[in-house]
Amino acid sequence: MGVEHRPTADYDDWGDPDESRRGRRRQARRHRPLRAIALSIGALALLAVVVVAGYAFYLQRTVSRNISHEDLRGEDSVITISPDLTGGIQPPDEEGELPPIVGEDGEAIDVDGAEVSTETPARSPEAGDALNFLIIGTDSRDLSVERGRSDVIVLMHINDERDRVDLVHFPRDLFVPIAGTGGSSKINAAYAYGGAPLLVQTLQPLIDVPLDHVVMVNFESFKAMTDAMGGVDVNVTEAGGGFSAGVQHMDGEQGLRFVRERKSLSQGDISRGERQMQFVKAVMLKALSRETLTNPARLASFIDAATTNLTVDEDLKVSDMRDLGFSMREVRGDDVHFWQGPWCGIDMHPVAGSIVLMSESQMGRLSDSLRSDSMDSYVDSVSPTSGFSGVCG
């Protein structure tokens, strides 16, 4: 039996083996550049991930190294009053003593060594995840040595949706009950007598909301972070102290002069408080701007400057700060709003000296808006917008 001969048509179906191999080689050569491009893109993507991760690690390490954590909210449950006579508050009297805490009879009372129990208001369900920060600006270079003066007292309310920020400035001479003492004094006396924890305990009953976090920063840090961003554009609403009305570009040194001026302004310390908030807004907007966030060198320099000498409460983690900043990345100028802590006039107290009178009714309205996270509908028709007198009640 002979071997069956396959017709040559089979080769036509499958093709010439040599020609087939040559075709595959030509096809491989054609796809080789595409593979190289794909590998290059993959390598670049991996490198980008490594660089971003390394940069994020660098920033987090910088923040962790710079920031100090302290018990600023009074978590120890009891605060022992111990007046700080090294820096105190301004203005001290001619003998260098702190303004007194005044009892109901109008006489100064001795509170040194008194113990104040800490309490925290309940959070309203209506507030959702809204946050309340107490920002304290001091002139102390080393908080371990002296408290310094608390010339800036600002409540920062960040709404639940993270698209609105309300800054409430409390005049340093606002005459209020000082927590646990049975007396009253200027609000920044609370800081001088018991540090940030006593200031927290003094402010919380007024606004009836918990202060979630406390941040302390000195003026030199404001100067450094301003310079790190190449200066900021501040909307000056009242000329004075060498600054014209309108948008002014300021470096750190100019910014310090701007926020410290009061004598040439129409409402003295009240106007100075408005300037402080204008400057804080300018720094905040520049920090959240695309110009800063997309410039790695500038962002790193700003974060280093902003967190140097920064002290925060023990519960405020670096990761929380990072996540909060990311969630607020869409905040713009129109989303930041200024308010004065409700006041209704200026008076001269026979013992405490010049004081700012608090409007209890307006403070109640502020409290309601904070508790319900409805600052978008808050209205203050009581605090004077010019002059020093209004209707108290």
Query: Cβ atoms within 10 A of the Cβ of 17, count?
Result: 9
Options 3.90.79.10, 3.40.50.2020, 3.40.630.190, 3.40.50.620; which CATH number does 69-377 get? 3.40.630.190
pLDDT at 218: 79
Higher pLDDT, 293 or 168: 168
Please, are residues 88 and 192 in contact by the beta-carbon 8 Å criterion? yes
Q: Tell me the whole-structure pTM to 2 decimals.
A: 0.79
Share of the chain above pLDDT 70, in %: 78
pLDDT at 120: 93
pLDDT at 224: 86
Residues 8-25 pLDDT 10s = 444 444 455 555 555 555
Decide if pLDDT at 260 tops 50.
Answer: yes
Name residue, tokens 């100028």: 333
Amino acid found at 112: D
Give the single-character DSSP code of 197. H
Residue of 297, 99, 138, 161 whose CA lies nearest to 217: 138
Q: Which of 122-131, 143-152, 181-190, 330-339 has the lowest mean pLDDT?
A: 143-152
Question: Residues with Cβ < 8 Å from 373, sequence gap 6 or more?
Answer: 126, 127, 128, 130, 159, 160
Query: Cβ atoms within 10 A of the Cβ of 147, count?
Result: 24
Phi, psi of 165 (to 5 degrees): -130, 130
Query: Which three-class secondary structure state does DSSP give residue 175?
Result: strand
Of the segments 107-116, 221-230, 292-301, which one has the largest average pLDDT value? 107-116
Instruction: Give residue limits of the domains in the chain.
Output: 19-66, 69-377
Cα-based angle 89, 94, 96 (whole degrees, multiple of 5): 45
**First and final CA of the chain: distance in angstroms?**
124
Q: Which of 247-256, 309-318, 365-374, 377-386 has the lowest mean pLDDT?
A: 309-318
pLDDT at 14: 43
Please, are residues 320 and 304 in contact by the beta-carbon 8 Å criterion? no
Per DSSP, which regions of the chain are E strands?
68-70, 78-80, 101-102, 108-109, 115-117, 131-138, 150-158, 165-169, 175-178, 183-186, 213-218, 232-236, 246-250, 311-313, 336-340, 343-349, 353-358
Q: What is the mean pLDDT of the chain?
A: 82
CA distances from 286 to 52, 77, 169, 320, 323 (A): 22, 38, 20, 20, 18
pLDDT at 21: 56
Residues 130-152 pLDDT 10s = 999 999 987 655 555 555 667 78
pLDDT band at 288 (very low <50, low <70, confident <90, very high): confident
pLDDT at 153: 92
Q: Average the pLDDT over 205-219 and give the result.
A: 92
Please, are residues 158 and 238 in contact by the beta-carbon 8 Å criterion? no
pLDDT band at 95 (very low <50, low <70, confident <90, very high): very low
Query: Which three-class secondary structure state does DSSP give residue 266?
Result: coil
Rounded CA gap, 367 and 342, in Å? 11
